[in-house]
Every structure is written in C-alpha cells, then in structure tokens.
Amino acid sequence: MGSGYMKRDIESLKFLFNPRSIAVVGVSRDPLKLGSIIYHKLMRNKTLGILKAEVYPVNPRIRDLDGARVYSKISEIGESIDLVVIAVPAEVVVDIVREAGENEVKTAIIISGGFAETGRKDLDEELRRAISESSIRVLGPNTLGVLDLISGVDTFFLPHQKPLSNGRMAENLPEAILGNVAVISQSGALSEILMDCLKAGGVGIRTIVCVGNQIDLSTEDFLRYFAYDESTKVIAVYLEGVRDGRRFLNALIEASSKKPVVVMKAGKTEVASRAAYTHTASMVGSIQVYRGAFKQAGVVEVEDMEEMVDVVKAFSMLNPVRGNKLFVLTNAGGLAVLSSDLALQYGLAIPDMPVKVKEDLEELKKHGLIPQIAVVQNPLDLTAQGSSESFEQVFRIVASSSLYDLYLVMPSHQPPSLDDTVVDRLSSVARKYNVPMVVCEYGESEWSRLIRERSDKLGIPSYTDIRRAVKALSALTSYKRPIERSFKYPIKENRLRWIDSLPDGPLSEDSAIKILKEYNIEAPKTFRIMEEIELEKIMEHLSPPLVLKISSSKITHKTDVGGVLLGINTLEELVEGFRLLKKRVGDLGVEWEGATVQEMVRGVELILGSSWDAIFGPVVTIGLGGIYTEIIRDFSVRVAPIEPYEAEEMINELKMKKMLEGYRGSPRVDLKKLANAITSFSSIIFENSSIKQLEINPLIAKDDKFYAVDVRGLLNKREKG
Amino acid sequence: MGSGYMKRDIESLKFLFNPRSIAVVGVSRDPLKLGSIIYHKLMRNKTLGILKAEVYPVNPRIRDLDGARVYSKISEIGESIDLVVIAVPAEVVVDIVREAGENEVKTAIIISGGFAETGRKDLDEELRRAISESSIRVLGPNTLGVLDLISGVDTFFLPHQKPLSNGRMAENLPEAILGNVAVISQSGALSEILMDCLKAGGVGIRTIVCVGNQIDLSTEDFLRYFAYDESTKVIAVYLEGVRDGRRFLNALIEASSKKPVVVMKAGKTEVASRAAYTHTASMVGSIQVYRGAFKQAGVVEVEDMEEMVDVVKAFSMLNPVRGNKLFVLTNAGGLAVLSSDLALQYGLAIPDMPVKVKEDLEELKKHGLIPQIAVVQNPLDLTAQGSSESFEQVFRIVASSSLYDLYLVMPSHQPPSLDDTVVDRLSSVARKYNVPMVVCEYGESEWSRLIRERSDKLGIPSYTDIRRAVKALSALTSYKRPIERSFKYPIKENRLRWIDSLPDGPLSEDSAIKILKEYNIEAPKTFRIMEEIELEKIMEHLSPPLVLKISSSKITHKTDVGGVLLGINTLEELVEGFRLLKKRVGDLGVEWEGATVQEMVRGVELILGSSWDAIFGPVVTIGLGGIYTEIIRDFSVRVAPIEPYEAEEMINELKMKKMLEGYRGSPRVDLKKLANAITSFSSIIFENSSIKQLEINPLIAKDDKFYAVDVRGLLNKREKG
C-alpha cells in the first residue's frame, strides 16, 4: 500500500476538502434546518471570498431561497458537482446518494443521522449498497462533516452564537483561526470542544473532519490524506475504536512517517471478550494492543483533551526534538523548584551548565544583568530582580552554547523589574539560534494573558502550568519517525503444513516444541517415555537435575494435579517419580499418554506469548516470568510480525529490565539474542494462522541461549484470522 | 502539645492577622518604596472601611505624609501597637525590632530581605537575639507578609496595576475575592500566582501568609492558627522544606484533624545526604519520608499548581466525601467515554444503576425527557438532544437514590437543545439532596465561561477539563481525619541500657538478634560456634536444612566473601562447611569470631528497615524482599513510632501486596501480625536513639510467624537524635 494507493485517495478526497462545486440537498425556508444553516454558512464564506466553489441549493419543494434559484434535483443543476452535502431525513438519503452517483458527483457528506447508530441496520445496508454501486466517496452518515479553513468548506451546523435566557446572543462556538493542524475526530461533540480549546490556546486549524459512522471514508483515509497534505504540519486524532487494526496501523505508519500524529484513544477500560487460554491472552487488554500499535507507528499518544491541545500546540509551533536536555529560566524560585520535579517526572533531564557557560554568565553578573543573589545553575532563577534584558542576555548565552535541546522560560510578570518586552526579546534569541522554547505563565490577570498571547503570536507555545508545559516538551521528544513498512494480514494457510492435520484445541507439548524448533527456539533436552523400562537408557543421555512431567493432551494444568516433579537426581528417583505420575494419571481416570523427562534449566525466567486480538490480529507479549508480569503488569505488546529493533524496544519498555542485565549476580541475558527470539516467535503466529494462542512460560534465558521450558498453545483452523 | 499550646499561639497571632493598630516603619515620600506602597494599601483599605485598625506611619526623617503626621519612632505614637510592619534596609531592622520589643508591640512583619538568604548570617543572628530578648512574635524577614481579606491587613507590596511599554496600565495582580481558603506559602512568587489562579477559578481567599525566612513564626504556627480559625474551611500549603519534621508533623495532624489541609511539596528530587549502611537507608529519599508523614497526618498532597487550585476549590465549595462511587451525566458521548477512563485512573468507581433507578429513568424516556437513542447507564449520555430540563430530571432521580457519593456533570453547551438554565437547575437538585457535584465545561467561548462562572457562583466547583475535575473529586475522597496524637522526639537514652556499652559502628549479629528478641521479633533457631568440636552436639538441637554463616563484626557483606552456606543437611556437610568458612576468614586476614548455624526458614521474604531521617528522625520502611523493593521501588515509609493501624496502611500501599495474600499457592501472611511486627520494630529505633539504622533483610513470614533471618544495624551514640 505505497504511494500508488495514496494517490487515488488524494484524488478523490481533494473534492471533499476543496470542491469546485457544492450541492446542498435539504435547504429549506426554515433557517434553523440543518440544510439551511449549512447553505447559509457556505454562502457567507462565498461572500467573504473564502469559499471559491459554486454553491447550489437543492430541494424539490421550493423554487428559490433568498433570491437564489433552488434546484429540484442534482441533475437539474447541469454542472458537474464535486461535493454534495446531504441533510435530509435518513429514509431519503439513499435516493439522493443514488442520484448523486448517477450524476457522477465525486464526493458526499451525509450529515443526517438515523442509521446504524440508532439501530436502523436496514438503512445502513441500503446505503452501503448504493455507495458500492457508484464511484462516489462518502463521509458520514451522522456527522458534522468538514470544516476546512483553507477552502472555506464548512458543514459544521452548530451556531457560532446562541441566545441566552435573557435574549442576548452569546458566543457559542468561536471562529477557528487558520493554521496547520488537521483534526480527525470520531466524535462531533469533541471536535467542537477541540475547536474551542485550540482557539483558546492560540492554535490554528487547517481542517477538522468528523468521520461519523465511517460507512465509506474512514479515519485511515484521512490519515493518508493529511500525511501528504502540504498545509498540514501535525495530525490530531480522537479515536474511539477501529474495525481493522492492520489497515489502521498501516495508515498511522504512513502518516507518522511524514509528520507527527497525536492520538487520543478513548475507551481504555473496555474489556477484551476473547476467550483466554494462556496467561498472556487473558492479561493483554485491547488498550495494551492499541498502545503497542501506536508505538510501532511512532505516534504520540495523549490521555486527555487538555494534553491533546497542549501537545498539538507544541507540534504546530515547533519541530520534533531528538534530545531531552532542558534548560529552565525564570524569575520565580518556586517555579524553578517545581519545574525540576516535573521535568524529571516526564523523562526530561536538567543537566547543569559547563564551566565555560557559567563563566560567561558570571560575567553578566558583574554587569548587573544577573542579580548578585541569583545562583548560576540550571534551572536558573533570576529572582524577582531579573529584568527583561537579563532574560534575553542569559538566554542568548545559553542558547548559543548548543548544549540544550529544549528551553522552558517562565518570566513571571508580577515583579516591577520585568516589562512586557520580555517575550519579544526571548523570541528573537530563539529564532536566531533556532532553539525550541516554550513559555509558562500562570494566571488570568491581564498581564498574564498578554504574555501568553504575545508568545503564541510569535510562534512560541505558551502554557498556563508547568506540568502542561513539560508534558508538551516531553511529547516533542517522543515523536519518532517510524520505518516505513506495511502490516499485511497473516497468510491464511499455515506455513507449517503439518499443523493442518492437528485437531483444533490445545496443542500437545510435542507439537508445540516441534513448532518452536522450526523457528529456532530450543526446548531443554527432552524425552517422551511410555514405559518404565525406557528410563535407564534415557538417564544415560541426560545430565541431572531433571524434571519429570505428565504428557497429556487432556490435562492442561499439570502443576495443579501434581504432574510436575522437579530436581530428580538419580535413576531411583526417576523410577519412583514415573510410578507416581502414572498412578496420578490413573487416579484422574485419564488415558496414559506417557511422561516427558527434561534437563532442568536455571536462569532468568521470561514469559513470551502470542494471542489473536479482535482488532489487530496476531500480537506478541514479552514479560518477566510469573509474578512480575501478572502483579506488576510489567509486559510489552506489539502487533506481529515484529522486527528485531521493535523487539529491542519491547525489552527496553520492561520496568524489570534490570533483571535481565545481571542484577545481583543473576546471569546476564543477551538482549540482542532475546530480541531475535521475540522476532522468530512473532513469525510463528503470523505465518501459521491456525495458531490462535501460543505461550512459552517460562522461557528461561541462560548464558546466551533461551529454553522454552513449558509451552501451551491453542489451535483453531475455522476461525478467520 | 494539646490545645493549651494552641491557645497561646492564637493569642499572639490574632494581633498579626487582626491588629487594632499598625505602625508602618519605612514610609517615604517616594511612593514606590515598599514602606510607602504598604502604607498606602493599608490607608486605602481604611478608607474603604475594610481595615478597622489605626495605621501610623513611622520615619525619623520626615514629619508628615499626605497630610498625616509621620512619627519619628514607635514610642512617639503613644498608643499600644499590635503590629509593626518593617520595610527598611536590613542593617536597620534589628534596631526597629528592639525598639518595638521595648514598646511592647505584639507582632512584627519584616518585609526587608538581606538576611540569611543572602548570606548575611551575622544579621540573622542579631535579629534572632533581638527577638528572643523580647516577647514580640515576628513574621519574616524576607517576606511579602500577610494579605487578610477579613481584617484588611495587606502588606503584599506588588502593584495591582503595572504599566505596559505603551504606557497603558494593565492588571498585574487581580484583587482576591473573600472566601474560606487560608494559604501558607514558603514562596512569595508562588503565593501571588496562587492568588491569581484562585481568583481565576472563582475561589475565595481568607488569608495568604508568606512565611519568608521563618526566623520566628513558622509554617507550623500558621497551620495551628488556621486549624482553629472559624473563617477557614481549607488550608493550602506550599512547602519547600521544614527544619523540624516532628514539630511539623504534629502541627499537620492538629490542623488536619480539624479541616482539610492540602499540601504541595516542591523539591522532590533533592538527594538525601545521609550515609547509607543499609539498603533501606539508601533507598528512602527525603520525599518518601515527607509522603509518609503526609499520610500519617491525613494530608491531601497535590503535585502542581493547577492541581493545588483545583483541589482547594473542591474543598472550599464542597465537603470531604467517604465513598468513591461516581455518577457521570453529560450530553456529549465522547466526554462520557473519557470520563470513564479517567475516573478509574484516579481511584473512582462508576457503578451502573440498579434496576429500580433505571426503571424510573426509562419512565423519563417515555415522556421524551431522555432521548430515545440514549442508553440508560452510568455514565449517562443524554446525547446532543438532551435539554436542560432532562439534565435536571435525570439528576433528581439519581441524586434522590443516595446511591452515589460524587457527581460529575458535563452539560456541553454547544447543542441548541441546551439552554443556560442548566446550572441553576442542577444546583437546586444538588442542594436539595445535599450531594457533592462538580461541573466540567471545556473551552473559552462566552457560553463556556458563563456556564463555569454561574456554577462557581452557586458553589458548584467548575473545571475546564475532565482530568482536572476527576482529580479534584478523587481528592475529596482522600482526606482522612487523622487520629489526634503527638510525635514526640525519641528519648535520648537507650531503653535497652546494655546497648550503651556497645561500640559505635556496625552491630554484631548477636547484638542485633538480642535487640529484636527484646521487642518480640524472633530469629530462626541460631547457635554461635567457635570450635569444630561443638558441631556434633549442636546438630542434635537443629532440624536441617541449615544455614552456616561467618560471624564477624568486621565482615559486613558476608555473601560477597562466600561466607554464607545454604542447605546443609548432614553433620558431614556441616563440618566441611565450617572448615571452609574458617579457611576463608583466615584468607581474608580477619580474626576468627566464630560462625552461626541456623535453621533455614522458607516463606515470603520481606524487608523491614529503619533509618534516621535528617528532618523527621527515626523512620521505618517495609517492602517485599529484594528485587521488588529495589527495582520496582515498592515500599512504604512512615515516621516512627508507628501505630498498628498505620502499619496496616503501609502494607496496603504495597503494589505487591498480593504476594502476601497467598498468591499462586505461596503461604498466606497474617497481615494483622505483620502490622504488629512493624509496630514493635518501629519502637526499637524510637526508644533506642543510638540505633541509627536497623534492617531485617530478609524477614521471612511463615505461617503466622516472622523470622529475622538476617539483621544489620548501625550504632552511633554521639550523633544527636
């Protein structure tokens, strides 16, 4: 799905965002009807010269509106139509779409609700059919549609003014300012709120598109569109869920490899409904998989609306940053202390300055530009005596040193020594040395607001709180251009053809081990034995201590029935154990399928599992063994297949990573090789779609080798991959 | 330190906050001098009728100011003075204080800086002497002083208006509104910022006091004062550090047992400088001890300025809440989804409604008050069709059910169906059923601001973001009235007198075990042996497996020198091991002090340590053994002595608590008995001040017993406790 696919998307979507002609179906003499509101909005934009497109009102029941001719149907317009906006009752929509299709209209926005979202699956089906039978591309239904500040297309039908009880009109929805942020939203309400908050934050919008029911055009299409759109610098996505995780992931990667994509995923608490056979399958919720996918796509994830606005603002005004070294400059000591605490919390470092820079700053002190009582360090507190000029001079010296990646400046306005030139002074230094800087200024006094507004106007993102500023700075460092790649679907057949002949249900240990071996994952030296008489001979091939286990396709939790015996050192013990297990199997009334004898392996215990996510398909989980994974929930998830560099990122994510690095004399794990093992393991579930769950628990790392000591798996050939 | 102590504080502090007469020393003809600014502010408040006190300007070099007589010295005033505000150069301050003392002035605010904070220790010393030689109580030096909105005392010398470059005056510091919040701040800058942010949040202030250098009056005094002040509903504290942790903790407990205390502690990243002999001592930083102390005092801790304002606002307008069950009502689906995610993140529950309530709500649906497409559940999304009346009706039914502890209502104003009566309607229901409710309304449109302002005016805290609203709601549930108690200092002598004869430095294992035994903490059955010949007899008294360890006061890290042998089962092995250890000790060139033989104990491994915090004195740390404590930093800290209920809270704080509850067949630990063990252990370090560090690692829990398998300790008799 390279740029060939893209080109087609852009071809059709440009008619949606930048049409030459628009038909509005559903205008009415009632100015409060949605069709009328939209028509009047478009006409206003035309009058203002913002909208270049021709606008044609359509309604078979009226002949004219405000002196303009109203067309009875689309065909009557007699011009080629790029976009039809449909705001009529749900029952009529299908007919309009068919008519539009017949008239070769390129795109449609179906504002009308009343389809699948209200249970009208029938209308939904009909609409899908109508769309598939034409070449029209459709946004909606059940959507606010598009607000495009460049072309002037605006179907957001909510009024900018709304009357109060006392009759006075008050601002309901602020006019957005033109900028470089593209918003893709799965919620109408949240897109209005974002619109308001972005405006309040001084952030300009390029386009907002509400995806509605996504009957045709979807989040993925818009991600691709804005990825290649030169007017878009950052893409903000409000996401509730997607239908096809791999398609979504590919679109994310494509977009994110071009520019920052900031995603807020709501619905984190939804419970995965999948039947869990393995630990990992039960542990990994839908949100963990989304998070893994976001990381694979280099997406910047935010957790709430405020953070969304703050982070988008940073990316809109500044560029992504590689390092995390922060310099803090203020005239309020308390803020300096707070910023240290918070910066560290969000992964930023506040290294002190080298002697050379300190000397230059001490020189400023001699000239009275740094107050005598101020200590030259990072964060640097100029104290209430700090003047605007001292801010500028200090910032100049530090910025010119190229030592820091990020700058947080907090020129608290209250002290008399600070005047309102401070932001302009800082801005000119930031521009000269091309360093990313944000301003934090608290409060709502007139001075506070002036400082922030001036800052935003100069392209320096301003924030009202240190935490918010620091989160935004941290986000600038967290965007990583992903490697362009494509997540295909798993091949429907098993690469290992012999798996086809296995029955659905739990995998036998033999088969599981055989599968692992095919992918170069070793099990400890293991023998399957049916009869006591074999034991003596087998003992010659193994070095104790040994493990003796029941081999059974019926008994899945062997430990629970006393079916695992550890630390067997002699033939005597082995024989005794074998008899015991045989008796236990007999007692359970289960057929004897033999036992396995294994060399015991000691080392660092890991858990490596794969499961089949309802949205993303095969996913892989790595964690430290047992307790760490389950109680601390210390594990990392990615969508399969997993590249070695991604596997390394997974390992780096583990809180308990120290345990792999030779903690307290425990063996050091070869992390490169572990990454390779994860990659190989990810291929198993990806290349053999019958395997729905597979888990090595524990996977024991010893020296530079990995041993799958216990494996569980679940086959299901019928279920679609 | 009961109310007797309190009474004295209040007696003197009332002259500071509500004086009958004020002398301002340092007025001048220059209106920009601090003394003049303060004098004019006070005179303005007098003119406005806010300030009742008489105000006398003092300056020996001028005779009159604005037509009023200026006194050359305090004695010349001829009236009894309750408060003197001193704004003169540091060098002159001591003389003024002496003069005030001689004239029996009750209190002083020393605005002037230039003392210890600028390195002038000499002036600091002189000032202390002057204060101690009189009965005057002093706030400062180096402070903004006091802003009291009830009495009209206002020494905050920063201008409310400040000129812009273009000459226009712009609001620099907003006028605070009168309310019930008392602010105690260690930073002048942050108190101004808080003042601005509280005003912006619609929160009223009772008093702000900046503690300055705390040469006399300190945070603790003000905590006590506001605790008993009837005009104060909530106390907000900005804290950088305290000198005497126990005094501070007692003041916190006293205040917090009267009303909510919200604390922001800055300087979390400061490194403890104490020499660490034990793991716990090296692990527990200053901030962990502060956090433990805050919990012991029932204090609500906040992490940044924004949270401070949000939480204080909640406590100012609402009362603390017991339960955590939240009902969410909105007309914006996206906000409903987001609120679920965030509520759970901050420890709130969103249980669904019982059938009865659902039925009542379905009834509303029949009457068209809940839109047909809305699903009756919690969170309840009325959709964009939800009217103000439907908000009211739904809220009435749910609030009257008494099922929920907290209510979050988000009446997004954009849809036409919502009018501006919504907040008044909701408020009347909240008042009728006396339920705590907050409003969340995003954005800065005129409607947004009107909704929030109206809400605040009606005493319903409004927030601009769900996370902020949810954090504030969660804070309402986290205030716990502490049990009134007093943290005394450890008794300077050791209760165990025999400890006096031990040398300073590491404790021998014998002594450590003996100490533990005195406090009912058992060690496994242990024998000390010097000669091989003793082994046979000792073997008769012990059940293998055994542990054999070097006994040495010189070798502290026994494991590192191979000085610990595990799993000894026979006399032969014991003899062999004994010879090995003796050889190893010999090889190290260390004197042979024998070996200890111990029965091996298996169970759940804990770590229990105590250390001597520079601020709070003896503190105790509990964690799960080894890795958990060190890598995950899963431990809990409290100031000693520790009550059993506090020990239980410590256990509940452990992330790995499941490990104590019989996780995966591991033995269940008796948590009541563990709490008792922690309490006993806390007495050791508290009652024996020579013991500066003591650590049981591991403490093994087996059945309902606890065994101190290894103990390390450090004695220091000379260092002050």
Quick one: pLDDT band at residue B247, thresholds 50, 70, 90? very high
DSSP E strands, B654-709: 691-702, 705-708
Distance from CA of B464 to the nearest CA of A (A): 9
Contacts of B379 (CB under 8 A, 6+ apart): B327, B328, B329, B330, B336, B337, B339, B340, B350
The one-letter code for the residue type at A579 is R
Residue B419 — left, alpha, or beta (φ > 0 → left; ψ -120 to 50 → alpha)? beta
Find, in chain A, the residue whose alpha carbon is nearest to that of B631: A656
Quick one: pLDDT band at residue A544, thresholds 50, 70, 90? confident
DSSP track, B121-146 = HHHHHHHHHHHHTSS-EEE-SSS--E
> Hey, is the C-beta of A375 within 8 angstroms of any chain B C-beta?
no
Whole-angstrom distance, CA of residue A698 vs CA of residue A349: 37
**B172 interaction partners in chain A (CB closer than 8 Å):** 413-414, 445-447
| Partners of B131 in the β-ladder | none
- Interface probe for B, chosen from A627, A630, A654, A655 (most Cβ of B below 10 Å), is A627
The 3-class secondary structure across A439-502, one letter per residue, is EECCCCCHHHHHHHHHHHHCCCCEECCHHHHHHHHHHHHHCCCCCCCCCCCCCCCCCCHHHHHC
Distance from CA of B4 to the nearest CA of A (A): 35
Round the average pLDDT of chain B to a whole number and report it.
Answer: 91
Find, in chain B, the residue whose alpha carbon is nearest to that of A384: B189
Residue A487 — left, alpha, or beta (φ > 0 → left; ψ -120 to 50 → alpha)? beta
Which of A164, A238, A333 lies at the smallest CB-CB distance from B189?
A333
Whole-angstrom distance, CA of residue A294 vs CA of residue A303: 13
Assess if residue A664 is contained within a domain. no
- Residue B563 belongs to domain with CATH number: 3.30.1490.20
For A294, the 3-state DSSP assignment is helix
Does A173 lie in the same domain as A67? yes
**A464 interaction partners in chain B (CB closer than 8 Å):** 306
Distances (CA, A) of A360 to A355, A390, A395, A410: 9, 13, 12, 21
**A627 interaction partners in chain B (CB closer than 8 Å):** 656, 659, 663-664
**Contact state of A174 with B442 under an 8 Å Cβ cutoff:** no
**Contact state of A342 with B304 under an 8 Å Cβ cutoff:** yes
| Partners of B185 in the β-ladder | B210, B238
**Residue numbers of A between 176 and 195 with CB closer than 8 Å to B:** 186-190, 192-193
What is the number of other CB atoms lying within 10 angstroms of the CB of residue B673? 14
**Residue numbers of A between 55 and 114 with CB closer than 8 Å to B:** none
Whole-angstrom distance, CA of residue B109 vs CA of residue A15: 71
Nearest to B126 by CA among B88, B91, B170, B178: B91
**Contact state of B306 with A464 under an 8 Å Cβ cutoff:** yes
**B197 interaction partners in chain A (CB closer than 8 Å):** 442-444
**B333 interaction partners in chain A (CB closer than 8 Å):** 187, 189
Assess if residue A304 is contained within a domain. no
**Residue A622: what are its φ and ψ, rounded to 5°?**
-125, 140
Does B349 lie in the same domain as B465? yes
A274: part of which helix (H) or strand (E)? none
Assess if residue B613 is contained within a domain. no
Residue A589 — left, alpha, or beta (φ > 0 → left; ψ -120 to 50 → alpha)? left
**B159 interaction partners in chain A (CB closer than 8 Å):** 416
Does A334 lie in the same domain as A189? no
- Interface probe for B, chosen from A142, A447, A468, A564 (most Cβ of B below 10 Å), is A447
Quick one: pLDDT band at residue B449, thresholds 50, 70, 90? very high
> Hey, is the C-beta of A169 within 8 angstroms of any chain B C-beta?
no
Round the average pLDDT of chain A to a whole number and report it.
Answer: 91
- Residue A31 belongs to domain with CATH number: 3.40.50.720
Is the pLDDT score of B272 beyond 50? Answer: no
**Contact state of A193 with B269 under an 8 Å Cβ cutoff:** no
Cα dihedral across residues B223, B228, B229, B232: positive or negative:
positive
The one-letter code for the residue type at B633 is R
Find, in chain B, the residue whose alpha carbon is nearest to that of A330: B189
**Residue B120: what are its φ and ψ, rounded to 5°?**
-85, 75
Is the pLDDT score of B721 beyond 50? Answer: no
For A509, the 3-state DSSP assignment is helix
**B340 interaction partners in chain A (CB closer than 8 Å):** 267, 269
Is residue B377 exposed (0-12), middle (13-18) or buried (19+ Cβ within 10 Å)? middle
**Residue numbers of A between 648 and 677 with CB closer than 8 Å to B:** 655-656, 658-659, 663-664
Does B154 lie in the same domain as B9? yes
Quick one: pLDDT band at residue A272, thresholds 50, 70, 90? very low
Q: A84: number of CA atoms within 13 Å, CB side?
A: 36
- Residue B402 belongs to domain with CATH number: 3.40.50.261
Are B650 and B636 in contact, with CB atoms under 8 Å apart? yes
> Hey, is the C-beta of B643 within 8 angstroms of any chain A C-beta?
no
Find, in chain B, the residue whose alpha carbon is nearest to that of A165: B420
The 3-class secondary structure across B8-49, one letter per residue, is HHHHHHHHHHCCCEEEEECCCCCCCCHHHHHHHHHHHHHHCC
Whole-angstrom distance, CA of residue B3 vs CA of residue B9: 10
Assess if residue B611 is contained within a domain. no
Quick one: pLDDT band at residue A519, thresholds 50, 70, 90? very high
Whole-angstrom distance, CA of residue B470 vs CA of residue B489: 39
Find, in chain A, the residue whose alpha carbon is nearest to that of B238: A334
Whole-angstrom distance, CA of residue A23 vs CA of residue A73: 9
For A714, the 3-state DSSP assignment is strand
**Contact state of A334 with B421 under an 8 Å Cβ cutoff:** no
Whole-angstrom distance, CA of residue B662 vs CA of residue B669: 7
**Contact state of A384 with B171 under an 8 Å Cβ cutoff:** no
- CA A563 to mean position of chain CA atoms: 43
Tokens of B223: 């905590």
> Hey, is the C-beta of B434 within 8 angstroms of any chain A C-beta?
no
Whole-angstrom distance, CA of residue A570 vs CA of residue A543: 10
Which of B170, B187, B333 lies at the smallest CB-CB distance from A334?
B187
Biggest CA–CA distance in chain B, Å, is: 104
Is the pLDDT score of B208 beyond 60? Answer: yes
Which of A314-328, A469-483, A496-510, B546-560 shows the lowest mean pLDDT across its residues?
B546-560
**B384 interaction partners in chain A (CB closer than 8 Å):** 188-189
How far apart are the two ends of chain A, measured CA to CA in Å?
Answer: 20
Assess if residue B290 is contained within a domain. no
Last residue of a domain, one of A550, A575, A599: A599
Contacts of A449 (CB under 8 A, 6+ apart): none
Packing angle, helices B305-317 and B188-200, rounded to 10: 50
Which of A442, A447, A450 lies at the smallest CB-CB distance from B305?
A442
Tell me B284's DSSP state.
-
The one-letter code for the residue type at B302 is V
Whole-angstrom distance, CA of residue A325 vs CA of residue A320: 14
> Hey, is the C-beta of A633 within 8 angstroms of any chain B C-beta?
no
> Hey, is the C-beta of B569 within 8 angstroms of any chain A C-beta?
no
pTM summary value: 0.93
**B189 interaction partners in chain A (CB closer than 8 Å):** 331-335, 384, 412, 414
pLDDT in tens, A371-413: 988 889 999 999 989 999 999 999 999 999 989 999 999 999 9
Assess if residue A281 is contained within a domain. no
- Any idea of the CA torsion for B54, B59, B63, B67, to the nearest 10 degrees? -40
**Contact state of A158 with B448 under an 8 Å Cβ cutoff:** no
Structural domains counted in chain A: 3
**B271 interaction partners in chain A (CB closer than 8 Å):** none
Whole-angstrom distance, CA of residue B459 vs CA of residue B438: 9
- CA B569 to mean position of chain CA atoms: 52
Q: ω before A174 within 30° of 0 (cis)?
A: no
Order of strands across the sheet that contains B261-265: B146-148, B205-210, B178-185, B234-239, B261-265, B300-302
**Contact state of B170 with A447 under an 8 Å Cβ cutoff:** yes
Residue count of chain B: 721
pLDDT in tens, A203-249: 999 999 999 999 999 999 999 999 999 999 999 999 998 989 999 99
pLDDT in tens, B475-517: 999 998 998 889 999 888 899 999 999 999 989 888 999 999 9
What is the number of other CB atoms lying within 10 angstroms of the CB of residue B547? 21
Average pLDDT over residues B393-412: 96
The b-or-e profile of B628-641 (16+ CB within 10 A means b, else e) is: bbbbbebbbbbbbb
What is the number of other CB atoms lying within 10 angstroms of the CB of residue B404? 23
Tell me B498's DSSP state.
G
Task: Work out the angle at residue A501's Cα, subtended by the Cα atoms of residues A496 and A507, and round it to the nearest 5 degrees.
Answer: 80
Residue linked to tokens 């805050």: B294
**B466 interaction partners in chain A (CB closer than 8 Å):** 304-305
Nearest to A45 by CA among A210, A172, A178: A178
For A139, the 3-state DSSP assignment is strand
Structural domain of A588:
525-599
Is the pLDDT score of A271 beyond 50? Answer: no
Does A45 lie in the same domain as A154? yes
Residue linked to tokens 């042996």: B529
**Residue numbers of A between 262 and 281 with CB closer than 8 Å to B:** 266-269
Which of B117, B197, B632 lies at the smallest CB-CB distance from A655?
B632
**Can you list the alpha helix ranges (DSSP code H) found in B458-545?**
466-478, 509-518, 535-541
Does A531 lie in the same domain as A469? no
Are B491 and B687 in contact, with CB atoms under 8 Å apart? yes
**B200 interaction partners in chain A (CB closer than 8 Å):** 443-444
Does B531 lie in the same domain as B422? no
> Hey, is the C-beta of A467 within 8 angstroms of any chain B C-beta?
yes
> Hey, is the C-beta of B604 within 8 angstroms of any chain A C-beta?
no
Assess if residue B491 is contained within a domain. no
The 3-class secondary structure across A190-207, one letter per residue, is HHHHHHHHHHHCCCCEEE
Q: What is the pLDDT of residue A283?
A: 66
**A304 interaction partners in chain B (CB closer than 8 Å):** 338, 342, 465-467
pLDDT in tens, A349-358: 999 999 999 9
Whole-angstrom distance, CA of residue A423 vs CA of residue A458: 8
Are B153 and B139 in contact, with CB atoms under 8 Å apart? no
Q: Provide, rounded to the nearest whole percent, the portion of chain A with pLDDT above 90.
A: 73
Task: Work out the angle at residue A34's Cα, subtended by the Cα atoms of residues A33 and A36, and round it to the nearest 5 degrees.
Answer: 70
Last residue of a domain, one of B198, B232, B266: B232
Q: What is the pLDDT of residue B10?
A: 64
Does B474 lie in the same domain as B343? yes
For A171, the 3-state DSSP assignment is strand
Number of A–B residue contacts, CB under 8 Å: 225
Q: What is the pLDDT of residue B508?
A: 85
Are A685 and A639 in contact, with CB atoms under 8 Å apart? no
Are A312 and A181 in contact, with CB atoms under 8 Å apart? yes
Quick one: pLDDT band at residue A280, thresholds 50, 70, 90? low
- Interface probe for A, chosen from B442, B559, B629, B697 (most Cβ of A below 10 Å), is B442
Find, in chain B, the residue whose alpha carbon is nearest to that of A117: B373
Residue count of chain A: 721
Does B447 lie in the same domain as B537? no
Does A555 lie in the same domain as A457? no
Residue linked to tokens 């600028």: B118
User: Model ipTM?
Assistant: 0.91
**Residue A445: what are its φ and ψ, rounded to 5°?**
-65, 165
**Residue numbers of A between 199 and 218 with CB closer than 8 Å to B:** 199-200
Does B445 lie in the same domain as B539? no
Task: Work out the angle at residue A358's Cα, subtended by the Cα atoms of residues A352 and A361, and round it to the nearest 5 degrees.
Answer: 125
**Contact state of B412 with A193 under an 8 Å Cβ cutoff:** yes
Assess if residue A90 is contained within a domain. yes
> Hey, is the C-beta of A31 within 8 angstroms of any chain B C-beta?
no
For A210, the 3-state DSSP assignment is strand
**Residue A14: what are its φ and ψ, rounded to 5°?**
-65, -25
Last residue of a domain, one of B199, B215, B232: B232
Tell me A399's DSSP state.
H
Does B456 lie in the same domain as B541? no
Quick one: pLDDT band at residue A416, thresholds 50, 70, 90? confident
